Every structure is written in C-alpha cells, then in structure tokens.
C-alpha cells in the first residue's frame, strides 16, 4: 500500500498489523473443530491497517520523504546544491509569509525549481533535526523567527507536491 498525501498535509500511511499467536492455554480452551486450525491469522476485528500522520507528529518527516520517493521511484539520490538550497530557503519563506499561502506562485518565482526541490528533499531525508536546522537557516537568511518544525515540513510537502504536478 502506498502513502497518500491529503490536501491538508496529512499523510495516510500503511501500518502492518501485529501478528498474534495463541498461547497453548488458549488453544486448549478452543472448541474441538478449531483445535487443529492455524492460529496465525489476524483476529476477526483486526486493528486498522492505515494511520493518519499530521505535520509535527512522530514519523511524519520520514513518511513524507517516503511519499516523495513514491512519486518518482526512479529518481536519482537527492543532491543539494548551494544555489538550490538558497532558492529553497527563499521559497519556503515566501510560502510561509504569503497572505494567501500561494505555493504555485512561489514555485513559479524560483529560477531553478528542480534544484530547489532536490534541496528540500535533502532536508527531509535528514529527518527532524535537519528540518529544524533548515528552519533556523531560513530565519537567518530571510529574517524573522524560525518556523515550527511541523510548519516547515508541511510547507516542504506542499512545495514538493506542486513541483511534481
């Protein structure tokens, strides 16, 4: 099952149900006709097989990086260039400070959207601390306070979704 990114930035991720084995005591109490039955099957009311992750929630950054990889599995490993990272910082700042949060317009204003996307992918691959550091860099380069990590991650996801369209 693939990861699904919703318009609100949440991600629907697959969850592997936990395999349960009956104990010898539980088998002894089972009816005779099911005594030889396989007990590795999930219970009749199996737990959900998906989970919704919100920006800032544990595992979100990793799931977003995995979602991005799903969009183009043949993509070469991400490489961040200096100019790509600078444009990515400008792009994230523009989206964060835009009164109408216009991602498409911010992406159009970038000289090299591909390099910006690669830089943002590189940030995601680094995990939560990488996103925190990137947010601090954006604040230093563009002015203002660092964005909360979950907000930065959400903007990165929106930008990558726009770039993939």
- Can you tell me the mean pLDDT for 134-141? 93
Q: Indicate if the pLDDT at residue 32 is higher than 80.
A: no
Are 159 and 124 within 8 A, CB to CB? no
Are 124 and 131 within 8 A, CB to CB? yes
Q: Indicate if the pLDDT at residue 156 is higher than 90.
A: yes
- Residue 48: its pLDDT value, please? 65
Domain ranges for the chain, please list them: 75-164
Task: Measure CA 90 to chain center.
Answer: 21
Q: Indicate if the pLDDT at residue 135 is higher than 90.
A: yes
Q: Indicate if the pLDDT at residue 93 is higher than 90.
A: yes
- Residue 150 burial by Cβ neighbours in a 10 Å radius (0-12, 13-18, 19+): middle
- Can you tell me the mean pLDDT for 1-18? 84
């Amino acid at each position: 099952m693939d990861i699904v990114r919703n318009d609100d930035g949440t991600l629907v991720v697959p969850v592997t149900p936990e395999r349960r084995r009956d104990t010898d005591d539980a088998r002894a109490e089972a009816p005779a006709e099911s005594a030889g039955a396989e007990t590795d099957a999930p219970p009749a009311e199996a737990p959900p097989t998906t989970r919704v992750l919100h920006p800032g929630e544990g595992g979100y950054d990793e799931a977003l990086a995995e979602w991005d990889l799903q969009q183009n599995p043949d993509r070469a490993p991400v490489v961040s260039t200096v100019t790509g990272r600078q444009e990515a910082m400008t792009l994230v700042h523009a989206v964060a400070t835009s009164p109408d949060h216009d991602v498409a317009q911010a992406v159009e204003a970038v000289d090299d959207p591909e390099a910006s996307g690669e830089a943002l992918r590189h940030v995601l691959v680094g995990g939560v601390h990488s996103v925190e550091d990137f947010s601090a860099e954006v604040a230093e380069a563009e002015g203002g306070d660092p964005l909360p990590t979950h907000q930065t991650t959400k903007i990165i996801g929106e930008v990558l979704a726009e770039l993939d369209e």
